[in-house]
């Protein structure tokens, strides 16, 4: 098979900028696809927050001050380029001072619609000037979801893209890019109103993600279960009917993990390395974690870890119902790392004040501590309302930290309920979003923990799982190849 030509467009790419899982996926796909010999070129904004000191960026001679015409005005961009670390993958940074010099990568400002429309257009314009017709345009989330429609409208004349196919990956359907319909003319869709959903125009709005879902050749999302869930009213955030209609063009591919960064054998952050063959370092990490968090160590008291954005999605309301009771009655510890909405931080702060020897809470974003928690906890709690893929439960499996998760999205695809008869399974999975169900899972885990042989088996089952990018990237290649031949 000849190498694939992939134009990958994303608003986040690790290690340059990350707000969530999207950044991880973009960086990993760039790296792993180029390692497999494919010609993948990644396009992203040149945000002012990107640290250029350690980045040898170069201006691309023929991509300077490129004009992009919008309805009634023109924007100019310059492309700079650098390689993704440890790979040959070229990243093109789209530099447009007026749009990307902001204190945050995502804003509530009036030109948000334009910031990412420019990124989408600039990626296409760069391809034109490079004389490079990609086999695949891979778009990610609402920010780049206009690309398929642009290719079918104002760039339709260009034979360079005649064979190009489009893929749109939905990383989180909760964010759709909805703007006033006043943007339609400015975006250059004025002459193509017949291609925009009349119900949206009637309501005076335009929805970028919806347009991507309608016009892309293929939709992917980041786990097979989430691909099913978003076709239902409960999880589809208003787009379920459109997704159901396009279900034969919808696939779920789990995100992978970079085990160079996340495995207890290699992890440079943790005090004691350990492996599936020798767990002994794990207990030492537990001791070190508890000492660091000012909690007393007791080998018989399991440590429940949490690392999370503190938002509605993550389902911590369920803990409101159960935490007080288990902290009062059980000999256990909770170590919580997270930042986000006030109501959740207040909840964990007050639990810490009420149970000082049992629960520790670090309010903030702390990479080293997140590795310590993975290594030093016995269990990891994720009671999410919805979870497109989720990464922490996958890290937890590798660290022998047994996940307690709700059966939704990627959590359902990566953790199997432990069966105490056959001793198969990798974690404690509850189905219904209510306190009793979570309580059942926490109790089941607590009781199993005290059966040392069973616990070692469950840890072992989890550590043997392999969700590496090496495996997952092959699924994208297979999909691109199939799409190319359509
Ligand atoms: P989401 O993308 O919805 O936030 P994921 O589980 O897919 O959830 O990915 C979250 C990533 O962010 C993980 O790598 C996790 O370790 C990291 N993370 C989340 N909150 C924190 C925090 N407070 N400190 C350090 N890392 C965090």
pLDDT digits (tens, 9 = 90+) for 230-278: 999 999 999 999 999 999 999 999 999 989 889 999 999 999 999 999 9
Beta carbons within 8 Å of 42's beta carbon, 6+ residues apart: 8, 9, 10, 13, 26, 30, 84, 89, 90, 91, 92
- Sign of torsion over alpha carbons 213, 219, 223, 225: positive
User: Which residue of 19, 21, 401, 410 sits with most ligand 1 atoms within 8 Å of its CB, as the best mutation to test the pocket?
Assistant: 21
pTM of the model: 0.94
pLDDT in tens, 425-470: 999 999 999 999 999 999 999 999 999 999 999 999 999 999 999 9
In this structure, are residues 237 and 171 in contact, taking their beta carbons and an 8 Å threshold?
A: no
Measure 415 CA to ligand 1 centroid, in angstroms: 18
What was the pLDDT predicted at 81? 97
338 CA closest ligand 1 atom index = 23
What was the pLDDT predicted at 260? 87
pLDDT in tens, 95-106: 999 999 999 999
Measure 203 CA to ligand 1 centroid, in angstroms: 35
Question: Hey, which residues does 403 pair with through a beta bridge?
Answer: 380
Give the DSSP per-residue string, 179-222. EETTHHHHTT-GGGGGGS-HHHHHTTEEEHHHHHHHH-SEEEES
In this structure, are residues 378 and 403 in contact, taking their beta carbons and an 8 Å threshold?
A: no
Lowest mean pLDDT among 20-24, 346-350, 380-384: 20-24
Share of the chain above pLDDT 70, in %: 100
User: Which residue of 18, 309, 387 sits with most ligand 1 atoms within 8 Å of its CB, as the best mutation to test the pocket?
Assistant: 309
pLDDT in tens, 272-319: 999 999 999 999 999 999 999 999 999 999 999 999 999 999 999 999
pLDDT in tens, 395-419: 999 999 999 999 999 999 999 999 9
Confidence of residue 47 (pLDDT cuts 50, 70, 90): very high
- Sign of torsion over alpha carbons 103, 109, 110, 113: positive
Confidence of residue 48 (pLDDT cuts 50, 70, 90): very high
21 CA closest ligand 1 atom index = 2
Measure 485 CA to ligand 1 centroid, in angstroms: 37
pLDDT in tens, 63-108: 999 999 999 999 999 999 999 998 999 999 999 999 999 999 999 9
pLDDT in tens, 159-206: 999 999 999 999 999 999 999 999 999 999 999 999 999 999 999 999
Q: What integer best gives the mean pLDDT of the chain?
A: 97
In this structure, are residues 406 and 223 in contact, taking their beta carbons and an 8 Å threshold?
A: no
CB count within 10 Å of CB 238 equals: 12
User: Which residue of 28, 307, 345 sits with most ligand 1 atoms within 8 Å of its CB, as the best mutation to test the pocket?
Assistant: 307
pLDDT in tens, 315-371: 999 999 999 999 999 999 999 999 999 999 999 999 999 999 999 999 999 999 999
Measure 401 CA to ligand 1 centroid, in angstroms: 16
Share of the chain above pLDDT 90, in %: 96
What was the pLDDT predicted at 267? 96
Give the DSSP per-residue string, 102-150. SSSSS--STTHHHHHHHHHHHHHHHHHHHT---SEEEEETGGGTTHHHH
364 CA closest ligand 1 atom index = 23
Measure 315 CA to ligand 1 centroid, in angstroms: 14
362 CA closest ligand 1 atom index = 23
339 CA closest ligand 1 atom index = 23
Alpha carbon nearest to ligand 1 atom 8, residue: 390
In this structure, are residues 413 and 225 in contact, taking their beta carbons and an 8 Å threshold?
A: yes
User: Which residue of 308, 385, 398 sits with most ligand 1 atoms within 8 Å of its CB, as the best mutation to test the pocket?
Assistant: 308
Measure 428 CA to ligand 1 centroid, in angstroms: 20
Helix axes 317-329, 342-354, angle to 10 degrees: 10
367 CA closest ligand 1 atom index = 25
User: CA 342, CA 385: separation in Å to the nearest integer?
Assistant: 18
What was the pLDDT predicted at 19? 87
User: Which residue of 365, 377, 385, 410 sits with most ligand 1 atoms within 8 Å of its CB, as the best mutation to test the pocket?
Assistant: 365
In this structure, are residues 200 and 206 in contact, taking their beta carbons and an 8 Å threshold?
A: yes
Residues with CB under 6 A from ligand 1: 20-21, 307-309, 337-339, 365-367, 370, 389-392
Q: What is the average per-residue pLDDT within 126-135?
A: 98
What was the pLDDT predicted at 61? 96
Give the CA dihedral 395, 399, 404, 408, nearest 10 degrees.
Answer: 20
Residue 53 has pLDDT above 80, yes or no: no
What was the pLDDT predicted at 20? 81
374 CA closest ligand 1 atom index = 16
Domains of the chain are: 5-256+470-484 (3.40.50.2000), 280-466 (3.40.50.2000)
Q: What are phi and psi of 173, to 5 degrees?
A: -75, -5
What was the pLDDT predicted at 203? 98
Q: What is the average per-residue pLDDT within 22-36?
A: 95
């Amino acid at each position: 098979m000849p190498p694939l030509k992939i134009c990958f467009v994303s608003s986040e790419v690790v290690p340059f900028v990350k707000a969530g899982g999207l950044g991880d996926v973009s960086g990993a796909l760039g790296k792993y696809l180029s390692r497999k010999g494919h010609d993948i070129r990644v396009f992203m904004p040149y945000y002012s927050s990107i640290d250029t000191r350690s980045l040898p960026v170069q201006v691309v001679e023929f991509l300077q001050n490129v004009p992009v015409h919008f309805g009634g005005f023109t924007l100019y961009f310059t492309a700079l380029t650098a390689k993704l670390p440890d790979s040959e993958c070229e990243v093109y940074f789209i530099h447009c001072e007026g749009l990307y010099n902001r204190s945050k990568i995502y804003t509530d400002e009036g030109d948000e619609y334009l910031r990412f429309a420019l990124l989408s257009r600039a990626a296409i314009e760069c391809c034109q000037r490079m004389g490079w017709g990609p086999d695949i345009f891979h778009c990610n989330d609402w920010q780049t979801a206009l690309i398929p429609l642009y290719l079918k409208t104002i760039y339709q004349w260009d034979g360079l893209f005649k064979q190009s196919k489009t893929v749109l990956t939905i990383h989180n359907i909760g964010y759709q890019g909805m703007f006033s319909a006043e943007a339609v003319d400015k975006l250059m869709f004025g002459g193509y109103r017949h291609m925009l959903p009349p119900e949206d125009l009637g309501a005076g709005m335009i929805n970028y993600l919806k347009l991507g879902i309608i016009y892309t050749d293929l939709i992917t999302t980041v786990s097979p279960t989430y691909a099913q869930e978003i076709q239902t009213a409960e999880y589809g955030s208003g787009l379920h009917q459109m997704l159901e209609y396009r279900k034969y063009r919808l696939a779920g591919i789990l995100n992978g993990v970079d085990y160079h960064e996340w495995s207890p054998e290699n992890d440079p952050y943790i005090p004691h390395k350990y492996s599936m063959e020798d767990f002994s370092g794990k207990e030492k990490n537990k001791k070190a974690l508890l000492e660091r968090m000012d909690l007393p160590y007791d080998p018989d008291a399991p440590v429940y870890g949490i690392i999370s954005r503190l938002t509605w999605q993550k389902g911590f309301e369920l803990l409101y119902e159960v935490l007080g009771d288990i902290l009062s009655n059980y000999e256990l510890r909770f170590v919580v790392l997270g930042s986000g909405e006030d109501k959740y931080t207040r909840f964990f702060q007050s639990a810490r004040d009420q149970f000082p020897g049992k629960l520790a809470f670090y309010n903030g974003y702390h990479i080293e501590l997140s590795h310590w928690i993975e290594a030093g906890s016995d269990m990891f709690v994720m009671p999410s309302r919805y979870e497109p893929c989720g990464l922490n439960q996958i890290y937890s499996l590798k660290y022998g930290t047994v996940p307690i998760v709700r059966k939704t999205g990627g959590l359902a695809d990566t953790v199997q309920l432990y069966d105490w008869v056959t001793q198969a399974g990798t974690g404690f999975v509850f189905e219904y979003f209510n306190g009793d169900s979570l309580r059942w899972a926490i109790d089941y885990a607590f009781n199993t923990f005290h059966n040392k042989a069973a616990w070692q088996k469950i840890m072992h089952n989890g550590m043997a799982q392999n969700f590496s990018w090496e495996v997952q990237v092959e699924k994208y290649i297979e999909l691109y190849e199939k799409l190319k031949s359509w």
